[in-house]
A and B are shown apart, each in its own frame.
Chain A
Amino acid sequence: MKKRMIQIGSILKHEYLRCITVGCIILFAILPLLTLAFHVTGEDWAHLAKNKSFWHSITNSLIYTGASAIITTALALIAAYLLNTASLKKKNVFVILLTLGMLVPTISVGLGLRILFGKNGFLDLLLGWEIEVRGFPGLIMGSVMTSFPATFLILYDALHYEDKGPYDAASIMGVPRISTFFKLTIPYLKIALISAFCACFTLIFSDYGMPMEIAGKVKTLPMYLYDQFMSSFQYGRGSIAGFVLLIPAIISFVFDVIFKDQSVNEKQKRLIKADKGFNRIAIAVIIVLCAILFLPQLAFISLSLTKSFPNDLSFSLEHIANIFSNTHGVGLSQYIQNSLLLACLTALVGTCFAYLLGYLSVRKSGRMAKAVDLLALSTIAIPGLVLGIGFIFLFKGTNGTFYGTILILIVVNIFHFLGSPYLLAKNCLSKINSDYEVIGETLGIGKGGIIRKVLIPNSASTLIEMFSYFFLNSMITISAVAFLCTYDNQPLSILITTYEKNSNYEMQSVISLIILVLNVGARVIFSIIANALKKADNKETEGGIGLSRYEFDFLTYLEKNGKGQYSQRKLADDLTITLSNTTKLIRDLADKDYINETVNGEIEISEKGLKMLEPYRVRKAIILAAGFGQRLAPVTLDTPKPLVKINGVRILDTLLDALYAKDITNITIVRGYKKEQFDQLLEKYPTLRFIDNPEFNLANNISSAMCAIDLIDRCYICEADLYISNPDIINKYEFQSNYLGAKVSETDDWSFKKRNGYAVNYQMGGTDCYQAFGISYWNGEDAEKLKEDLKKTYNNRGGKENLWEMVPLKICKKNYKLEIRKCHKSDILEIDNFIELIAADQSYSKYPGYKGFFVN
């Protein structure tokens, strides 16, 4: 028994919260429906059974809803398929354009159609086309336009998460695209299509804003319901109509609960891009679709900007200017405030509540978790209209404290829109690793800590999406709120219905425009925030300047070798990584658009890939060339060592050529001994700059480094006396700070050993080690440290006696992790004394004074 108590104690808090939230949903979503039932009498049933207009309204609704749902689903499928399959750069722009209709109330779409067609409509006035749209044609047109965005998004999302691997396989096998559409896409989409059709049907069936404007003499079911409540006061009959309205929503809900496939597998993106012809067709179709969908908006925008419709169509800002003035009896600013306040509060409270529901249903199992989930989902099925009347019945008694205040509007909106944000929260939270709470417990971090520090930061973008959903929908809704708002607190969307009654097109248009503008603004702000978050996240995870080592190596390899067909085996060999990593890498980079792949299997680095490499670019080179080069005397008595010619080529030229070949032209040479001789270099290398080191014969080469200290940043620091036989030891890009070294069995030159890839044990001579060559690269971070440490060392007593590389490799070695950049010993010819010079270039055996010097 005691055991049970403890267990109960630890989950009590959750169950407690679950009970409260379940209670909330029951009170604000289920009870309102039940109260409707109490108002139905047997007489109502009998009446409706014989009532022709009731049955007419049902058949009417079914006819136009069925027709439009089929058309919408088909159009949405085409648009979603084309947009998904085409390889376009800014797909999101098209998604936004195609879903623009979500930002205006449905009644505004009806309004737009009415002022576009029909007597005295724009088409009539401008072209003399008078088309009667009121009735079924208008209803179908309007329904398609209002339901398209949601339907499109369902299908677009479903396609987006489809595994694209089979399509690549099919195109490699030469299967035509149209065949893959019917054999792969449609079967895959089966459930999504039915689900989209159901959602679309429900949406159209229960909408009454758009039909209000355009139904004409055709009565629809929501309008019948509205009439029963608002003009005939036959609550029982209205309630029955409400229940009929629920039927398609319930069918759709049950279908979704049974078939919802919630496991989103890791998808493979398409590697083979669509061809240009297909892209063109896709773009054309989508643009035409966007244009048609935008027509109603265009109509009411134009009307808001004309002087006096339909008599004077000249441009005028009069209506816009009147928005904030009270001279015409209507100051809209009050209603704008109402709308914004309602939308903000709904979004704020709704987001918190939906997130809490998501947390309670996914993050900890318990008996009530399932109940929370099912109830939260069930709110999707309740049409706003039905919820609105339910609220009237249930809360009439609280007049003044709840009913009749903005509170009830917020609550009704939250529960009306709850379903989708709840699903967003649930999906997001269920994807976050379920072990965090356990980890938290073993680490002694409370659940609150995990929620605050782990769950919320990891669902930031979902939270924004949820907020946005609540906000935008609160701005455009008329269904539930219409029954509950007062004259004073009614939002803009409701105001449209008021002006609809007296056919005031101007005011309806202006209000629709304001809502559109506010919603576009809100949407922009939300996406700016979301992007900023994403960017911050990317920046953090990509660490400083962005690429992983593998990615860097791969991209620089492509940059160097150009476009071509690379077998994975060759890539794996050249990059010295495993074949499986190569495959993964190619897929990752293609996903990030860092590389382009063509149909015939060629790969090249993309613009974006080049951009990602840019931070790693070697900016400049500093060449330390001030020394005397004692060991090469007597040649160096006349010429500084870097300018000594071997087989006709100056030693320094080999380095300069290598740098120039990699576009590194910002080169500074620190010179001292016989400095004027260096001027001759300018002829061949005009971009060279010189710094003179006056102390070259008093101090060691650290003094030369000091001369150029301000230049050290993302640069090579090179010794000037390396005769380079392989120019590829100079790179255009470097991943991190490094020092060039060649693996040798033994050396009597400076060497280091490798530990974890980094240089350690810098010393003279060594066995089984790396011989150090005086070319090193310094990234921004290390360059800063190096400057500091060089200054410090130089100013210490005896500091001037040091070789500069002693600072990072020995004196202050703790501060640096210098990678050993591997080269072959043969890449660089070391000429350390006159004998070696002769070995490289026989002509020096006849050098005047050589004999005497040698004997000496």
Chain B
Amino acid sequence: MGTESIIRAENINKKFKSKTVLEDVSFEVRRGEFLSLLGPSGCGKTTILRMLIGIEKPSSGKIYKNDVDITEAAPRDRNIGIVFQNYSLFPNMDVYHNISYALQSRKLDKDEIDKKVREIIETVGLEEHIYKKPKQLSGGQQQRVAIARTLVLNPDIILFDEPMSALDAEIKVVLRQQLKDIQKKLKITMIYVTHDQEEAFALSDRIMVINDMRIAQLDTPYNIYHNPADAFVKRFVVDHLDMKVKSIEDSIQ
């Protein structure tokens, strides 16, 4: 991971009708890093994500990717993939076709598509499940399909919209590891939206704590924990983690 930036957002404001959701937000995302957007629900983190992907436009401000202004670009021209909370796999297609569908609709050469899809399937380790439908897959496998589906288009960045919030605690831990492994393997930039402090700390190179329409702090987990920028960060992140640790300690003593 270098310090070179891949995304630069400058002075983003977003209003829905008269309601302000984001106020003068600026940040950079570094190439190859795993960045979490952490904040309570309704703080604007999902709005940032939706603006990065291009299904929402800022009311003012600019977003650059590799120094190119993409503020107005259509989602398909941004080369950014997204994995949703429930993965949103196409339920009627098997693993192979979920992944190949995007390529097919681009009218690429058949053999080329096949080669590419199989390659990706191998990368995410789904060879045995290639002809299974999403319903037959476990949560972890579905996540891998969802990632593979975006990977097949060689995205520069993958965004995750609270992908684990609906899962059991046990599975979460496994999926986190899996996600981390894939990221390490592919060295791809990942931006991860979550309201779960533990998750953000377990996964991220850097965390962007968002509160009340603004970025409260953007730093490494270590710095956030040891030097919280304001009272909110201290309460929302540091105290929460401390409490969690304490409650576990209490119960096993």
Q: Does B229 contact A (CB under 8 A)?
A: no
Which of A435, A458, A540, A548 is B88 in contact with, Cβ under 8 Å?
A435
Contact A443 B76 (CB under 8 A): yes
Which of A7, A436, A543, A548 is B90 in contact with, Cβ under 8 Å?
A436
Which of B54, B72, B88, B170 is A439 in contact with, Cβ under 8 Å?
B88
Contact B84 A458 (CB under 8 A): no
Q: Does A817 contact B (CB under 8 A)?
A: yes
**A436 to B136 CA separation, bound complex (whole angstroms):** 19
The B interface is mostly helix, strand or loop, or mixed, namely loop
Which of B55, B91, B135, B170 is A438 in contact with, Cβ under 8 Å?
B55
Q: Does A848 contact B (CB under 8 A)?
A: no
Q: Does A441 contact B (CB under 8 A)?
A: yes
Of the stretches B100-108, B110-118, B182-190, B241-249, the one at the interface is B100-108
Contacts A438-B55, A543-B132: A449 and B72 contacting too (C-beta < 8 A)? no
Q: Does A3 contact B (CB under 8 A)?
A: yes
Contact B149 A453 (CB under 8 A): no
Q: What's the least CB distance linking B97 to chain A, in Å?
A: 9
**A436 to B102 CA separation, bound complex (whole angstroms):** 12
Which residues of A are found within 8 Å of B101, using beta-carbon distances?
443, 445, 449, 453
Q: List 22 A-B contacts (CB under 8 A).
A: A3-B72, A6-B57, A433-B88, A435-B84, A435-B88, A436-B90, A438-B53, A438-B82, A441-B55, A441-B76, A442-B54, A442-B81, A444-B105, A444-B106, A449-B101, A453-B90, A453-B101, A454-B92, A458-B92, A541-B133, A541-B135, A548-B136
**A600 to B128 CA separation, bound complex (whole angstroms):** 42
Task: List B residues 124-141 near A (Cβ within 8 Å).
Answer: 128, 132-133, 135-136
Which residue of A2, A445, A548 has the most chain B CB atoms within 10 A of its CB atom? A445
Which residues of A are found within 8 Å of B136, using beta-carbon distances?
541-543, 548
Which residues of B are found within 8 Å of A541, using beta-carbon distances?
133, 135-136
A 529-568 to B, binary, CB cutoff 8 A, 1 in contact else 0: 0000000000011110000100000000000000000000
Which residues of A are found within 8 Å of B72, using beta-carbon distances?
2-3, 6
Contact A3 B91 (CB under 8 A): no
Contact A3 B57 (CB under 8 A): yes
Q: Does B36 contact A (CB under 8 A)?
A: no
Q: Does B168 contact A (CB under 8 A)?
A: yes
**A446 to B91 CA separation, bound complex (whole angstroms):** 18
Contact A439 B84 (CB under 8 A): yes
Contact A449 B105 (CB under 8 A): yes
Which residues of A are found within 8 Å of B75, using beta-carbon distances?
438, 441-442
Task: Kindly list 13 other residue pairs between chains A and B, CB separation below 8 angstroms, not including A3-B72, A436-B88, A443-B76.
Answer: A7-B57, A433-B86, A433-B88, A435-B84, A436-B90, A438-B55, A439-B84, A443-B153, A444-B105, A445-B102, A449-B101, A454-B91, A543-B136
Which of B106, B133, B135, B150 is A442 in contact with, Cβ under 8 Å?
B150
Q: What's the least CB distance linking A582 to chain B, in Å?
A: 13
Seen from chain A, the residues whose Cβ lies within 8 Å of a Cβ on chain B are: 2-3, 6-7, 10, 433, 435-436, 438-439, 441-446, 449, 453-454, 457-458, 540-543, 548, 578, 580, 817
Contact A444 B76 (CB under 8 A): yes
Contacts A7-B57, A439-B82: A445 and B105 contacting too (C-beta < 8 A)? yes
The A interface is mostly helix, strand or loop, or mixed, namely helix
**A284 to B74 CA separation, bound complex (whole angstroms):** 64
Which residues of A are found within 8 Å of B168, using beta-carbon distances?
580
Residue in chain B with minimal CB distance to A581: B168
Which residue of A438, A443, A543, A817 has the most chain B CB atoms within 10 A of its CB atom? A443
Which residues of A are found within 8 Å of B128, using beta-carbon distances?
817
Which residues of B are found within 8 Å of A453, using beta-carbon distances?
90, 92-93, 101
**A236 to B86 CA separation, bound complex (whole angstroms):** 58
Contacts A441-B55, A454-B90, A457-B92: A446 and B133 contacting too (C-beta < 8 A)? no
Residue in chain B with minimal CB distance to A437: B55
Q: What's the least CB distance linking A738 to chain B, in Å?
A: 15
Which residues of B are found within 8 Å of A817, using beta-carbon distances?
128
Which residues of A are found within 8 Å of B170, using beta-carbon distances?
578
Q: Does B80 contact A (CB under 8 A)?
A: yes
Seen from chain B, the residues whose Cβ lies within 8 Å of a Cβ on chain A are: 53-55, 57, 72, 74-76, 78, 80-82, 84, 86, 88, 90-93, 101-102, 105-106, 128, 132-133, 135-136, 149-150, 153, 168, 170
Residue in chain B with minimal CB distance to A3: B57
Residue in chain B with minimal CB distance to A435: B88
**A541 to B89 CA separation, bound complex (whole angstroms):** 14
10 closest Cβ contacts across the A-B interface?
A443-B102, A444-B76, A441-B75, A435-B88, A457-B92, A541-B135, A435-B84, A445-B105, A442-B75, A433-B88
Which residues of A are found within 8 Å of B55, using beta-carbon distances?
438, 441
Which residues of B are found within 8 Å of A454, using beta-carbon distances?
90-93
Which residues of B are found within 8 Å of A449, using beta-carbon distances?
101, 105
Which residues of A are found within 8 Å of B150, using beta-carbon distances?
442-443
Contacts A540-B133, A541-B136, A542-B136: A444 and B153 contacting too (C-beta < 8 A)? yes
Q: What's the least CB distance linking B58 to chain A, in Å?
A: 9
Contacts A454-B90, A457-B92, A578-B170: A444 and B84 contacting too (C-beta < 8 A)? no
Q: What's the least CB distance linking A433 to chain B, in Å?
A: 5
Which residues of B are found within 8 Å of A2, using beta-carbon distances?
72
Residue in chain B with minimal CB distance to A537: B92
Q: What's the least CB distance linking A737 to chain B, in Å?
A: 12
Q: What's the least CB distance linking A171 to chain B, in Å?
A: 29
Contact A442 B53 (CB under 8 A): yes
**A7 to B54 CA separation, bound complex (whole angstroms):** 11
**A542 to B133 CA separation, bound complex (whole angstroms):** 9
Q: What's the least CB distance linking B47 to chain A, in Å?
A: 14
**A817 to B54 CA separation, bound complex (whole angstroms):** 43
Residue in chain A with minimal CB distance to B83: A439
**A435 to B153 CA separation, bound complex (whole angstroms):** 18
Residue in chain A with minimal CB distance to B53: A442
**A485 to B37 CA separation, bound complex (whole angstroms):** 65
Contacts A541-B136, A543-B132: A442 and B84 contacting too (C-beta < 8 A)? no
Residue in chain A with minimal CB distance to B152: A443
Which residues of B are found within 8 Å of A444, using beta-carbon distances?
76, 102, 105-106, 153
Which residues of A are found within 8 Å of B81, using beta-carbon distances?
442-443
Q: What's the least CB distance linking A462 to chain B, in Å?
A: 14
**A458 to B133 CA separation, bound complex (whole angstroms):** 13
Q: What's the least CB distance linking B49 to chain A, in Å?
A: 11
**A443 to B93 CA separation, bound complex (whole angstroms):** 16
Residue in chain A with minimal CB distance to B149: A443
Which residues of A are found within 8 Å of B88, using beta-carbon distances?
433, 435-436, 439
Which residues of B are found within 8 Å of A441, using beta-carbon distances?
54-55, 74-76
Residue in chain A with minimal CB distance to B136: A543
Contact A442 B57 (CB under 8 A): no
Q: What's the least CB distance linking B166 to chain A, in Å?
A: 12
Q: What's the least CB distance linking B14 to chain A, in Å?
A: 12
Contact A446 B92 (CB under 8 A): no
**A304 to B101 CA separation, bound complex (whole angstroms):** 57
Q: What's the least CB distance linking B70 to chain A, in Å?
A: 13
Contact A458 B91 (CB under 8 A): yes
Residue in chain A with minimal CB distance to B127: A817
**A436 to B101 CA separation, bound complex (whole angstroms):** 13
Which residues of B are found within 8 Å of A457, using beta-carbon distances?
92
**A6 to B132 CA separation, bound complex (whole angstroms):** 39
Residue in chain A with minimal CB distance to B146: A439
**A578 to B174 CA separation, bound complex (whole angstroms):** 15
Which residues of A are found within 8 Å of B86, using beta-carbon distances?
433, 435
Q: What's the least CB distance linking A588 to chain B, in Å?
A: 12
Which residues of B are found within 8 Å of A578, using beta-carbon distances?
170
Q: What's the least CB distance linking A428 to chain B, in Å?
A: 13
Contact B90 A442 (CB under 8 A): no
Q: What's the least CB distance linking A130 to chain B, in Å?
A: 61
Residue in chain B with minimal CB distance to A448: B105
Which residues of B are found within 8 Å of A6, using beta-carbon distances?
57, 72
Residue in chain A with minimal CB distance to B155: A442
Contact A442 B92 (CB under 8 A): no
Residue in chain A with minimal CB distance to B134: A541
Residue in chain B with minimal CB distance to A439: B88
Residue in chain B with minimal CB distance to A2: B72
